[in-house]
Chain A
């Protein structure tokens, strides 16, 4: 049944593309590899510049999806192959077992009896959940899921489930879709900070990434919103290291577009909890484009936030403090700044940098190339902030509809 539109990826761009297509009157299938929709933004504490919670928008997206029969979505599902041409694509999708079916009411009795714990990837491995778990408070679908890498199939959850919702024998399936057009919204992943050896990630506990800080600052994060350092001392000073990987020939040659603004936003998280902490932002250029300049100006009003133009060369450790070594490019001098916490503003790498779907074309960095019938949206296309990703997704929705209508 060609005519439907496929959206690959259920993050903010994929959700936008899917719901905009459906609300215009077309059938859409949304395929997401995680067991829940929402993607990266679900892991953010707040958005810049309004400092509002991403769950607020997700609630509206999910509400629209729940009440729109034109949207079908599959979680725990991965597109493995795309064949054909605009108007008639054949798409192969792998459906990984969830082991929990629609009978699930999310009552939570199963997790209470589950004896096994697993690292919680929603919190970037900073805490644990049971092997059967609800991905997050706003999870869509609102159903438990079993992580089969950790589950030993002891069957305790099956015994306690009153609703016949768990099937430990569920197996992987494949499904074939025939669609007219495809929106690729496979998003991004944080650039691997371990590759930035000079910056001490993995070596010093209190060198963290911006995404880890987002989780820490979130009420449903590993520390229930409390930003802390490893030895529990109150935080007196924090350094944000911009372009950690971005604008660097050896890592990501492009600019990730959001990190300057993200770090400024995260500086407000620190300020909320530590009114006197000194915050240093080491940058090459502050890229607060367009009206985001207002946000930059607002952050600059905080006299304990210091912007230092200079690329960080190295992070070292003193007895107690971390030492940020950088060149202040204005004075031309080498500076050493002792801090308690270092936040690496790691860039956005397209998810497809290391996993490419056969049948879709990519550029050298892994960004998706547009061709007739296949339209990238959000960060699958280029580095973008949330509003930009949604604009691009709305545009992609139009291109997809044009294929169906021709």
Chain B
């Protein structure tokens, strides 16, 4: 920044430090006369800061997590120096704490000096939204987009809209008393969609390609052989589900006996008006429903399909009403979750619907009936039911299942690089990948990291976050409905609305050059000094959001509007050519160099003054340290904590710099990784872990012990543990002795 001002607050116990010495650091080392105030966050104090002409402001007071909005000044770069939680609340006040405070002030001042004013990445963007899939979710999405005043394109591969729901005879009741079936809502939705002037529908169409970035997605579709092109700002993926292949359920008699059918086939029969035995065309009177036909079975679909219990209860009623017959439902657990319990109770009222928990032991044909033998029932005895018809309640598979493969994201890798992917997507052979390509992709994204929305276990799409269910690994592309999780129609409608909100939010934000979750509104984006790029492809491979494409040589081609601003790319780059204006390699390297490392060649007692750096994830580890301080827990004052956007933004260069300037040890505190990762940038903490394995080479070269650099996973509520982790690390390194590079 051009001019940096320094403010030192003396409130909340900060005055226990030697404020004169702090002032001297600013005056003598940086030539800045600091302003000292007893209550800087007061209206009056904040006013003084606000009126400061400088464009860079250093606030040496409390944690940046506190009074954030008070010191958030538009157009200025504000660097918070955490003297309260970071020094006086977490340390005994002595010479060590004083030196810690002075170092923090130095680090803050250089970070402010090195910061620059960002310019947003502004392009002419589209605010139209593409909806892929014309079932209940897609139809709802398109309508909701239009109702919010935006234009929608709806692409459906079948000739007709309506999806699976249009193949249903009746729909579940959605209001009390939960005993009256409804007409499937899709018919009304189709009418509304096709008559809405803001919705363009393409049926019998597939997507040939989607290139570009949010706000500027160029879509090419193929409608009956004709190419159509248009530009959209965001995408809602509502490609839904496909039924589990019942042919794989031979043990339940499917394919073997004509009178064993699936729930979809029964729905079709009911729609045609009569429930019959396919073997002889006679009306089926006694019908057995077998729940979890494939679901909750490690050999088929290990998960629960959520809706099958409801569907069978509904279909049991069809049997009652259309055939005047009897229905038997054999279930593992009756999963009528939440308010659906009411529907279950209504169906239980019907004496012709017989329900029991049970395990089907065998199914065979006898006297032109299908015999179902059941054990473990609630009746105290095994059952043998002679049925006219057996209905298998088969489950749902995501349409994205298998389409996202590790091979596509990491074509050059022999082993899968990231645990969170490896555990969910065991690597496929070349043949398998070729096979998948034949099935065909759905989105055909022109992204370096593969043509499809990345998926979680079983092919259901993101999010892996409980708190942020729509955040996907592809900014501007949001999934809804059964492609995201098995769900009933009412839930699909709600889910469509949620995804549409995120799509609208994305088009609005990127139009202003802003990113979305979790750094929503950030306009600062990574700058690449490509003249020095060595085409190592680390940044393009490691970006969790597919923001960086590559040319043939491997030079990164940034798409700033796909970027979530985590800094993983700048952490990856060995040439240090990637930086944000306000979060740069230069800022962090300079802050590391600003730490005063006592030099044993001339400073008395320097041997005792070890110096450590802790890189702490600003979302979890850093708040945990604040909360430790709030609870009066103390940790070593020899440690300087540097908050980072994500542990994945820690460049190994920082480690090398720190070690060569005499820092004795470096600890990285980041989020849990692996299958249940908690890193808000997907794989940042895991990347940091991998990179630090590589740092061991640097350590060897410098003839330093490997224990000097360590990564530990912590969570935000580990505030009782974090001080211990730090102290143990410090003690272990102290036993190794001082870094021999001090004073060089």
Contact = CB atoms under 8 A, between A and B. Distances in A.
B41 to A, nearest CB: 6
Given A382-B338, A387-B466, A56 B508 contact: no
Interface string B137-157: 000000010011100000000
Interface residues of B, number: 87
Contacts, number: 231
B72 interface: yes
A137 B631 contact: yes
B341 interface: yes
Contacts of A138: 623, 627
A364 B177 CA distance: 11
A105 B339 contact: no
A105 B380 CA distance: 66
A309 B114 CA distance: 65
Interface in A203-225: 218-220, 224-225
A288 B467 contact: no
A390 B148 contact: no
B487 to A, nearest CB: 7
Contacts of B50: none
Counting chain A CB atoms within 10 Å of each CB, which of B72, B457, B521 scores highest? B521
B11 interface: yes
B612 interface: no
Interface centre among B303, B496, B516, B620 (most CB of A within 10 A): B303
B302 A394 contact: no
Interface string B485-500: 1110000001111101
A105 B12 contact: yes
Contacts of A102: 43
B518 A60 contact: yes
Contact of A68 (B38, B505, B520, B720): B520
Interface string A195-206: 000000000000
A219 B720 contact: yes
A138 B495 CA distance: 30
B335 A285 contact: yes
A330 B500 contact: no
Interface string A109-136: 0000000000000000000000000000
Interface stretch (A249-257, A269-277, A337-345): A249-257
A220 B631 CA distance: 10
Given A257-B337, A291-B303, A382-B339, A395 B521 contact: no
Contacts of B715: 52-53, 56
B304 interface: yes
Nearest to B626: A137
B363 interface: no
Contacts of B176: 363-364
A105 B485 contact: no
Contact of B339 (A137, A289, A383): A383
Contacts of A171: none
B69 interface: yes
B504 A107 contact: no
Interface in B301-346: 302-306, 333-342, 345
B62 interface: yes
Given A219-B720, A405-B148, A398 B504 contact: yes
Contacts of B149: 402, 405-406
A12 B467 contact: yes
B676 interface: yes
A115 B710 CA distance: 46
B396 to A, nearest CB: 10
Contacts of B520: 23, 64, 68
Nearest to A48: B466
Interface in B455-472: 456-458, 460, 465-470
B630 interface: yes
A41 to B, nearest CB: 9
Interface stretch (A145-153, A173-181, A292-300): A292-300
A24 B176 CA distance: 34
A405 B147 CA distance: 9
B331 to A, nearest CB: 8
Contacts of A297: 302
Given A57-B466, A107-B13, A395 B497 contact: yes
Contacts of B42: 103, 163
Contacts of B306: 289-290
B719 A60 contact: no
B335 A287 contact: yes
A134 B631 CA distance: 12
Nearest to A41: B467
A206 B66 CA distance: 39
Interface in A79-128: 102-103, 105-107
Contacts of B500: 398
Contact of B11 (A60, A63, A162, A391): A162
A330 B378 contact: yes
A398 B148 contact: yes
Interface residues of A, number: 83
B338 A254 contact: yes
A67 B72 contact: yes
A254 B176 CA distance: 12
B148 A52 contact: no
A285 B333 contact: yes
A54 B620 CA distance: 11
Contacts of A286: 333
Contacts of A390: 466-469
A14 to B, nearest CB: 13
B468 A255 contact: no
A137 B620 contact: no
B627 A56 contact: no
B303 A294 contact: yes
Contact of B627 (A137, A294, A363, A391): A137
Contact of A398 (B11, B497, B719): B497
B593 interface: no
Contacts of B337: 255, 257, 287, 289, 383
A247 B341 contact: yes
Contacts of B72: 66-67
B338 A255 contact: yes
A60 B148 CA distance: 27
A254 B502 contact: no
Contacts of A306: none
A399 B676 CA distance: 32
A384 B518 CA distance: 24
Contact of B630 (A105, A137, A163): A137
Contact of B467 (A69, A162, A386, A406): A386
Contacts of A285: 333-335, 357
Nearest to A404: B148
Interface in B1-54: 11-13, 38-39, 41-43
Given A23-B520, A56-B715, A383-B338, A50 B678 contact: yes
B229 interface: no
Contacts of A61: 467
A55 interface: yes
Interface in B266-290: none
Interface string A38-77: 0000000001011111111101110110111100000000
A52 B467 CA distance: 10
A397 B501 contact: yes
Interface of A: 12, 16, 20, 23-25, 47, 49-57, 59-61, 63-64, 66-69, 102-103, 105-107, 137-138, 142, 162-163, 218-220, 224-225, 247, 253-257, 285-294, 297, 309, 329-332, 363-364, 367, 382-384, 386-387, 390-392, 394-399, 401-402, 405-406
Given A309-B357, A395-B495, A401-B504, 4 more contacts: A50-B678, A69-B69, A291-B460, A390-B467
17 contacts: A16-B467, A23-B521, A25-B505, A53-B717, A59-B620, A60-B467, A60-B680, A103-B39, A163-B11, A220-B717, A253-B345, A255-B340, A297-B302, A364-B176, A384-B338, A395-B496, A405-B149
The 6 A-B residue pairs whose C-beta atoms are closest, nearest first, are A57-B467, A395-B497, A394-B498, A398-B501, A285-B333, A66-B68
